Amino acid sequence: MTRKMLIAGNWKMNLTLPEARNLAEELVRRIGSVADVDMAIAPNFTVLYPVSEIIAESNILLSGQNLHEEQTGAFTGETSAKMLTAVGAQMVIIGHSERRKIFGEVDVLINRKITAGLAEGLTPIVCVGEDLSQREEGRAEDVVKTQVEGAFSGMDASTVSRTTLAYEPVWAIGTGKTATPDQAQDMHRCIRELLAGLFDKNVANNMRILYGGSVTPDNARGLMIQPDIDGALVGGASLKADSFEGIVKCRS
């Protein structure tokens, strides 16, 4: 089964408006016409619209970093799926480990956010992954299994097929540590087998499962050539045009 690779850059809480514009313009020049790999960038909320205008005629897609599970209401400081699509977003990251750990997001909430994003036509990039203690205790697969089941609770195969998963071992995010290609492949294969059991083989075979965790141009190829790894959710390396370009083109 051949799945088109997706490289998504999560800018997190970085880049002012001038900086974001400069990076977006440079990315359009460097990779805007790349067609054999899908690409997305997730700027902070304050710069989503101006960045969307810059990348509009390129092959780079726009993603939100988060959303609220309700579409409107008295939720000060929050952003809805409808607001994201109104400024040109096609994707949204949901359940990132930083949202889980720092902001206390749990699987039930993540499930509601996925539903909200899908209702407005967004493609959720749903993040799952274990922390260091869970891996050292031999519970990594059980933790990820619980997160996947919680994220997709109550959904059928046709609904789940409209999402993308991202496996991000928490111990590898922003630490400079990266899961070895074999470690990452083992978990991606485990997730794919889980999806086949929860839904069907068609969902499992077609679902894109990204790897996230200190991905760089130097380690990207070793990860991306694994049979069950379909791209990357990139953090720090997405803040520089040359390094993001290197990841996008790592299999060229």
- In which residue are the tokens 């993540």 written? 110
Nearest to residue 220, comparing CAs of 236, 228, 209, 231? 231
Nearest to residue 72, comparing CAs of 63, 60, 61, 80? 80
- Helix locations, 6-156, DSSP H: 17-31, 48-55, 81-86, 97-103, 107-119, 132-136, 140-151
Q: What is the DSSP letter of 74?
A: S
Phi then psi dihedrals of residue 119, to 5 deg? -60, -25
CA 159, distance to chain mean position in Å, is 18
Would you name the residues annotated as active-site residues? 96, 168
CA atoms of 163 and 151, how far apart (whole Å): 11
Query: Do 64 and 79 contact (CB within 8 A), yes or no?
Result: yes
CA atoms of 63 and 86, how far apart (whole Å): 12
- Please report, for residues 28, 78, 106, 206, 248, the alpha-carbon distance to residue 184 in angstroms, rounded to integers and kept in the order given: 30, 33, 23, 18, 18
Torsion of CA 68, 89, 230, 35, to 10 degrees: 180
